[in-house]
Amino acid sequence: MIRFILFTFFLLTVTFESTAQEVHRCGTQPYKSPFLKKYQANPENYDTKSGELLMVPLTIHNVGNDAGFGYYNFNKLMDALCALNTDFEDADIQFYIEGDVIYHANSAYYTHTTFVEGANMMFENNIENTINNYIVSNPSGAAGYNLPYAGIAMGKSYMSPGNHTWAHEIGHNLSLPHPFLGWEGGVSHDGSVSHNFNNPAPEYVTYDYTVFQSEFFNDADTLIIDTAFVEYVDGSNCHIAADGFCDTSPCYLAASFDCDGDIFTNPTQTDPTGATFQSDASLFMDYSLDVCANRFSDEQIAAMRATLINEKPELLYDLVPPALVDAAPNQTMPLQDEVVPFDEVTFTWDAVPNATDYFIEVSRISDFSLIAHEEITSNTFATALDLQVEKDYYWRVKAFNKKSLCAPASETIKFETGDFVSDENVLLRNFSIYPTILKSGSNLNINWQGNSVNNWSIQIFNSAGVLVQEELNTDLTTNTSYEFNTTILTQGVYFVVINADEKTERSKFVIY
Ligand SMILES: [Zn+2]
């Protein structure tokens, strides 16, 4: 019998969320965390370190289908994170990508229809001491949701700048309820009782927070109902009603509502005393349309900061402010309208201050809506081996580090793949180096069959793209090998780059 109830319950949840998609952007269900209750009882007891920058690590789980299609484009992800940080600027809270983006080719994650599936996805893949964010195609029928004990699922079509769903879900993750807490199911927990906003609201409403218990799987078969006091317009019960914040004005609207500039066009509502009002549409945590929302309230900000400092201090292990990356890379190869060998196209650009990584995209379409090659690299070059012959392509590159992802992309450069292979364009025939893994202090042997070119240089770059050793004007024309002394290099990955007459050969080696 218990199993039957459980099944019925989740079926109802799915139905609710499917309906919700058209009017709600958020699948997060009503909940006030034990920490928030404790905090709101005595907020003056908590030092929120107001004005100090709090840097918060995010793990990004980029989910595609079983075939590996449908991943969220990394360029768009950078734009989304940049927009998220803009939304949190006034809170002095900023987010960064911790570790590498994790890719999951998993259709069951990509389109999941219940919180159980979403929770299992999170339990299996979460990285500790970060806020885990799963970017999927369909997060249980919602635009996004937060599971307080697990993480955030975001629908990729709700990630674009101008859409504040991610900020809203992270607000939930940092303890914030909806300002209309208690009205998620209307005046009753299951939406079964209709309410006319022209009539006075009841003194309290009920809400279902079964799935947001911290021990979700142990007690999800028991329906748990709580009550919320309805907030008065005069603010007299604001500390105990709805979300418990006094600077988030009353709102009973658990459905999208509009505004017109600063003018609220949402329905007039009536509080339990008969006083009428319209809701403030400017708060990210309400369901006002994205175009209306632009802020967290001061009390919401203080509560999020208190949550980080007191309840989730494990997230605050790297408070170093971002080293700003604000320039676009200067592209050096291929240049506009250049014709290059189709089988091996090498892209190069100049290093950008403070950048640790670069994202390069190659497309047949100038708006990059379809990607032929993409790559994240710590180098200032990349190679595409998979382009078609005699086609026009476009390429661009963006510089970033894990805390600074708002730099503009480079110019879009058009080039053409010629009907010839890279062998005709090589600097050195049969170019090779050995050993590719060598002991510190030993010599690197470079071998080739030379072309008659003068003004050679040999450069060694470390894995961060920094030039660490260089020999200029080396005469290689009469030799077929060269012994390169690596004594000054410490352990690590290096790239040897040989330049001559605007041609380049590259290879990688490791010193241990
Ligand atoms: Zn929400």
DSSP letters, 210-224, are GGGSTTHHHHTTS--
Whole-Å CA distances, 36 to 133, 173, 331, 366, 415: 22, 12, 50, 49, 56
CB-based contacts of 296, cutoff 8 Å, min separation 6: 88, 90, 91, 171, 176, 283, 284, 285, 304
Q: How far is the CA of 511 from the centre of ligand 1 (A)?
A: 51
Question: Which residues line ion ligand 1, judged by CB < 5 Å?
Answer: 26, 28
CA 327 – ligand 1 centroid, Å:
36
Please tell me the pTM assigned to this model.
Answer: 0.78
Q: Separation of 292 CA from ligand 1 center, angstroms?
A: 16
Å from CA of 349 to ligand 1 middle? 43
- Specify the CATH superfamily of domain 43-176+296-321: Collagenase (Catalytic Domain) (3.40.390.10)
CA angle at 145 for the pair 140 and 148, rounded to the nearest 5° = 120
Q: Do domains 43-176+296-321 and 426-511 have the same CATH topology?
A: no
The full length of the chain comes to 512
In 3D space, the residue among 412, 408, 411 whose CA is nearest the CA of residue 327 turns out to be 408
Is 426-511 CATH 2.60.40.1930?
A: yes
489 vs 492: CA distance, rounded Å? 8
Cα(145) to centroid of ligand 1, in Å? 7
Q: Report the SS3 class of residue 315.
A: helix
331-424 CATH: 2.60.40.10
**Tens of pLDDT, residue by residue, the chain (512 residues):** 222 223 223 333 333 333 333 334 788 878 889 999 999 999 999 999 999 999 999 999 999 999 999 999 999 999 999 999 999 999 999 999 999 999 999 999 999 998 889 999 999 999 999 999 999 999 999 999 999 889 999 999 999 988 999 999 999 999 999 999 999 888 888 888 889 999 999 999 998 877 665 555 555 567 788 889 999 999 999 999 999 999 999 999 988 888 988 888 899 999 999 999 999 999 999 999 999 999 999 999 999 999 999 999 999 999 999 999 999 999 999 999 999 888 889 999 999 999 999 999 999 999 999 999 999 999 999 999 889 999 999 999 999 999 999 999 999 999 999 877 665 445 666 667 888 888 888 888 877 665 555 667 788 888 777 888 887 766 655 566 778 788 888 888 888 887 766 667 777 888 98
Measured in angstroms, how far is the CA atom of residue 175 from the centroid of ligand 1? Answer: 11
Joined together, the tokens standing for residue 259 give: 């505004």
CA of 168 to the centre of ligand 1 (A): 6
What are the residue boundaries of the structural domains of the chain, listed by start?
Answer: 43-176+296-321, 179-295, 331-424, 426-511
Backbone torsions φ then ψ of 167, nearest 5 degrees:
-60, -40
For residue 156, the 8-state DSSP code is G
